[in-house]
């Protein structure tokens, strides 16, 4: 084996880091990598998930772009695996494939009323405010009182974007339609619900502190939630992150409130039971049960039921991966089943209920589709290192493609009439968006419609 022809599907951080790590790794063979993404722009959730008012994190795009700009990875944007390209195509042209397709849809919230009009998945809203081309351009921001369910950073992002004054978002890269929508929002109160106590949240301290600094927004916390038990006190004393979170909230408990025109309420020990119908099939309220610490770091229901009127609800209870045609999928966990990145299929002798315990040679996974939708961008780097280690060690078991020449895949995409975009295309789009931003005195204005993105990328 003198050369590894590798396809990577997914140009988010996981896919780009995997390519970079392989190119820099000690190995006895040459490498040629093609990176595919179904979007015309690379960077996955860094572009289409990270909130626009987090420019420092968005700035990771610069580091990812530096990797691509080195010129040793071919990029094919606007190519959808499963539609434009199949696993059989990849077997014909490559020695191996790494799937780095992430997780973009919302995990289900299984309570009555979750499908009422006005109940939205956080992932859909995030895709809207980050200008994802495959989501509607308008968003119904008609509610004054809104509930957000979840106690992780996505819940904080969604709450912050809902309650922040649109003028404070104007300097960011939000698309024009998003600014217009947020500017017209009548929201006054956002209520964030978590089943457990303040010392069990999954917020990171930096993101939590940030909501306390929003212009003209009061943070409302409730004294009843801070009657800590031994487990909570031990968490504050023994975990630096929890210590800082407690410190931030302690400061909020002492703050004067009442002057701001908008409020962000944090409700802990609150287990949502039902989203209430307003009588017309729309969200009209939320019913929850007060919980209490169980003494071991968990919570139990107290039987005390409470209600609150709301007109919209956002479910920020996690993301979930999507299956890819011809690739094994673990429906329970929403991931491609794998052992340290080596994709596993079911034991064929055990039928459809068999365990995923047979290595599917030539097929690898990395990032959120490998591990599940938890963790920060940096974690996808260690993920990629593990996957690449196995890819290199498995050299004897790679596929033996019949047409590995670099031109062959280009000819295939051309023959199918696919309007793929390359790295030059990304540069064109990037320059165009920066120029739009500059003309309006803003960082960047994102182009949203897919066809327009492709046209600009292709210089048409
Ligand atoms: C709302 C939100 C905010 C976040 N904020 C932060 C933050 O502030 N800081 C931080 O460190 N982390 C943050 N994260 C986490 C971070 O985004 C993830 O850790 C990281 O993006 C996961 O990388 P990935 O490459 O596995 O997946 P992704 O980033 O999702 O990339 C997957 C890529 O695969 C492509 N793809 C999917 N299906 C196909 C297909 N069929 N064919 C071709 N291509 C396909 C997608 O278009 C995408 O480009 C946030 C996540 C979310 C959801």
96 lines ligand 1 (CB under 6 A): no
Task: Give percent above pLDDT 90 in the chain.
Answer: 90
Distance 351 CA to ligand 1 centre (A): 33
SS3 274: strand
Q: Are residues 379 and 401 in the same domain?
A: yes
Q: Are residues 143 and 198 in the same domain?
A: yes
Q: Are residues 99 and 148 in the same domain?
A: no
CATH number at residue 218: 3.50.50.60
Q: Are residues 50 and 23 in the same domain?
A: yes
SS3 323: coil
- Residue 194: the pLDDT is 97
Q: E strand or H helix at 32, and its extent?
A: strand 30-36
Position 404 in a domain:
yes
Residue of 294, 276, 298, 293 whose CA lies nearest to 285: 276
Position 213 in a domain:
yes
Position 430 in a domain:
no
Is residue 209 part of an annotated ligand binding site? no
Q: In whole angstroms, what is the distance from residue 117 CA to residue 120 CA?
A: 8
Position 434 in a domain:
no
Q: Are residues 172 and 252 in the same domain?
A: yes
Position 431 in a domain:
no
Atom of ligand 1 nearest to the CA of 47: 29
Residues 74-92: what's their mean pLDDT? 97
Residue range(s) defining the domain that contains residue 276: 110-319
- Choose which residue among 45, 153, 205 to substitute to test ligand 1 binding: the one with the highest number of ligand atoms within 8 A of its C-beta: 45
Q: Are residues 200 and 184 in the same domain?
A: yes
Distance 195 CA to ligand 1 centre (A): 26
Please state, as a whole number, how many other Cβ atoms lie within 10 Å of the Cβ of residue 402. Answer: 9
Task: Kindly report the backbone phi and psi dihedral angles of residue 262, in degrees, each rounded to the nearest multiple of 5, phi listed first.
Answer: -130, 155
Residues 146-162: what's their mean pLDDT? 97
Q: Is the pLDDT of residue 296 over 80?
A: no
Is residue 95 part of an annotated ligand binding site? no
Distance 405 CA to ligand 1 centre (A): 30
* 116 or 175, greater pLDDT: 116
Residue with tokens 């998930």: 49
Atom of ligand 1 nearest to the CA of 383: 26
Q: Are residues 93 and 124 in the same domain?
A: no
Residue of 13, 10, 9, 11 whose CA lies nearest to 382: 13
Q: Are residues 335 and 390 in the same domain?
A: yes
Q: Is the pLDDT of residue 311 over 80?
A: yes
- Choose which residue among 7, 13, 17, 49 to substitute to test ligand 1 binding: the one with the highest number of ligand atoms within 8 A of its C-beta: 49
Q: Is the pLDDT of residue 217 over 70?
A: yes
The per-residue pLDDT for range 254-283, each reduced to its tens digit, is 999 999 999 999 999 999 999 999 999 999
Distance 45 CA to ligand 1 centre (A): 3
Q: Are residues 245 and 126 in the same domain?
A: yes
269: its two tokens: 């020990």
Q: Is the pLDDT of residue 294 over 90?
A: no
Is residue 170 part of an annotated ligand binding site? no
Q: Is the pLDDT of residue 157 over 70?
A: yes
362 lines ligand 1 (CB under 6 A): no
387 lines ligand 1 (CB under 6 A): no
pLDDT band at 357 (very low <50, low <70, confident <90, very high): confident
Distance 49 CA to ligand 1 centre (A): 7
Atom of ligand 1 nearest to the CA of 85: 42
- Residue 171: the pLDDT is 86
Q: In whole angstroms, what is the distance from residue 367 CA to residue 363 CA?
A: 14
Residues 164-183: what's their mean pLDDT? 93
Distance 394 CA to ligand 1 centre (A): 27
Atom of ligand 1 nearest to the CA of 103: 30
Please state, as a whole number, how many other Cβ atoms lie within 10 Å of the Cβ of residue 115. Answer: 9
pLDDT band at 112 (very low <50, low <70, confident <90, very high): very high
- Residue 353: the pLDDT is 73
Which of 304-308, 351-355, 372-376, 402-406 shows the lowest mean pLDDT across its residues?
A: 351-355
Atom of ligand 1 nearest to the CA of 83: 41
Position 9 in a domain:
yes
Compute the mean pLDDT over every residue in the chain, rounded to the nearest whole number: 95
Q: What angle do CA 23, 26, 31 make, to 5 degrees?
A: 40
Q: In whole angstroms, what is the distance from residue 427 CA to residue 35 CA?
A: 16
Residues 275-303: what's their mean pLDDT? 94
Which of 165-169, 225-229, 300-304, 440-444 shows the lowest mean pLDDT across its residues?
A: 440-444
Which of 28-42, 396-410, 434-448 shows the lowest mean pLDDT across its residues?
A: 434-448
Residues 442-455: what's their mean pLDDT? 93
Could you give the number of structural domains in the chain? 2
What are the helix and strand counts (H, E) for the chain? 16, 18
320: its two tokens: 């979930």
Residues 12-30: what's their mean pLDDT? 96
313 lines ligand 1 (CB under 6 A): no
Is residue 196 part of an annotated ligand binding site? yes
Nearest CA to ligand 1 atom 14: 376
DSSP code at position 459: T
Residue of 162, 166, 240, 164 whose CA lies nearest to 205: 240
pLDDT band at 347 (very low <50, low <70, confident <90, very high): confident
Residue pair 226/253 in contact by the 8 Å Cβ criterion:
yes
Domain boundary among 267, 291, 319: 319
Domain boundary among 319, 339, 374: 319
Q: Is the pLDDT of residue 295 over 90?
A: no
- Strands, sheet with 283-293, edge to edge from the N-terminal-most edge strand: 270-277, 283-293, 299-309
Position 360 in a domain:
yes
Atom of ligand 1 nearest to the CA of 369: 26
Is residue 207 part of an annotated ligand binding site? yes
- Choose which residue among 7, 8, 9, 10 to substitute to test ligand 1 binding: the one with the highest number of ligand atoms within 8 A of its C-beta: 10
DSSP code at position 196: S
Task: Kindly report the backbone phi and psi dihedral angles of residue 339, in degrees, each rounded to the nearest multiple of 5, phi listed first.
Answer: -115, 105
Distance 352 CA to ligand 1 centre (A): 30
Show Cβ contacts of residue 326 under 8 Å, excluding neighbours closer than 6 positions.
82, 86, 87, 88
Position 459 in a domain:
no
45 lines ligand 1 (CB under 6 A): yes
Residues pairing with 7 in the sheet: 34, 97
Q: Is the pLDDT of residue 82 over 70?
A: yes
CATH number at residue 92: 3.40.50.720
Task: Write b or e for each residue in 261-278: b if 16 or more Cβ atoms lie within 10 A of its Cβ, otherwise e.
Answer: ebbbbbbbbbbbbbbbbe
133 lines ligand 1 (CB under 6 A): no
Q: Are residues 125 and 70 in the same domain?
A: no
Residues 346-373: what's their mean pLDDT? 89
Q: Are residues 212 and 345 in the same domain?
A: no
- Strands, sheet with 3-9, edge to edge from the N-terminal-most edge strand: 73-76, 30-36, 3-9, 96-99, 356-365, 342-346, 338-339
Q: Are residues 200 and 221 in the same domain?
A: yes
Residues 339-365: what's their mean pLDDT? 89
- Residue 5: the pLDDT is 97
Q: Which long-range contacts (CB under 8 A, 24 or more apart) does 353-357 make?
A: 356/328, 356/330
Handedness of CA 420, 421, 422, 424 (dihedral sign): positive
Q: Is the pLDDT of residue 241 over 70?
A: yes
Task: Give percent above pLDDT 70 in the chain.
Answer: 100
Domain boundary among 298, 319, 340: 319
pLDDT band at 1 (very low <50, low <70, confident <90, very high): low
Nearest CA to ligand 1 atom 4: 50
């Amino acid at each position: 084996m003198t050369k590894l022809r590798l396809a990577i599907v997914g140009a988010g951080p996981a896919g780009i880091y995997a390519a970079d790590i392989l190119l820099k790794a000690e190995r006895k063979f040459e490498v040629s990598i093609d990176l595919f993404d179904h979007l015309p722009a690379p960077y996955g959730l860094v572009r289409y998930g990270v909130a626009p008012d987090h420019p420092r994190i968005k700035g990771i795009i610069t580091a990812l772009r530096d990797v691509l700009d080195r010129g040793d990875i071919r990029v094919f944007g606007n190519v959808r695996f499963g539609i434009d390209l199949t696993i059989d195509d990849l077997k014909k042209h490559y020695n191996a494939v790494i799937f780095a397709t992430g997780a973009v849809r919302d995990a289900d919230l299984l309570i009555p009323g979750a499908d009422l009009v006005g109940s939205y998945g956080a992932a859909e809203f995030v895709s809207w405010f980050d200008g994802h081309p495959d989501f509607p351009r308008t968003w119904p921001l008609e509610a004054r009182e809104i509930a957000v369910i979840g106690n992780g950073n996505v819940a904080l992002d969604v709450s912050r974007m809902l309650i922040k004054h649109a003028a404070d978002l104007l300097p960011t890269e939000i698309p024009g339609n998003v600014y217009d929508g947020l500017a017209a929002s009548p929201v006054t109160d956002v209520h964030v619900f978590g089943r457990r106590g303040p010392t069990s949240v999954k917020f990171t301290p930096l993101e939590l502190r940030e909501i306390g600094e929003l212009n003209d927004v009061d943070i409302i916390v409730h004294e009843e939630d801070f009657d800590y038990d031994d487990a909570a006190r031990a968490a504050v004393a023994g975990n630096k992150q929890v210590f800082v979170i407690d410190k931030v909230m302690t400061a909020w408990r002492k703050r004067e409130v009442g002057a701001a025109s908008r409020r962000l309420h944090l409700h802990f020990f609150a287990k949502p039971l039902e989203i209430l119908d307003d009588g017309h099939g729309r969200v009209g309220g939320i019913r929850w049960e007060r919980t209490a610490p169980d003494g071991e770091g968990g919570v139990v229901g107290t039987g005390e039921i409470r209600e609150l009127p709301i007109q919209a609800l956002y479910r920020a209870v996690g993301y979930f991966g999507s299956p890819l045609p011809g690739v094994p999928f673990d429906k329970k966990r929403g991931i491609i089943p794998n052992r340290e990145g080596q994709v596993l299929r079911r034991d064929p002798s055990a039928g459809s209920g068999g365990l995923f315990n047979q290595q599917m040679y030539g097929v690898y996974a990395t990032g959120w589709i490998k591990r599940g939708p938890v963790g920060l961008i940096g974690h996808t780097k260690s993920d990629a290192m593990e996957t690449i280690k196995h890819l290199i060690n498995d050299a004897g078991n790679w596929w033996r493609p019949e047409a590995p020449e670099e031109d062959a895949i280009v000819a295939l995409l051309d023959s199918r009439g696919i309007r793929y975009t390359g790295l030059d295309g990304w540069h064109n789009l990037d320059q165009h968006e920066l120029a739009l931003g500059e003309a309006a005195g803003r960082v960047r204005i994102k182009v949203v419609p897919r066809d327009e993105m492709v046209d600009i990328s292709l210089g048409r």
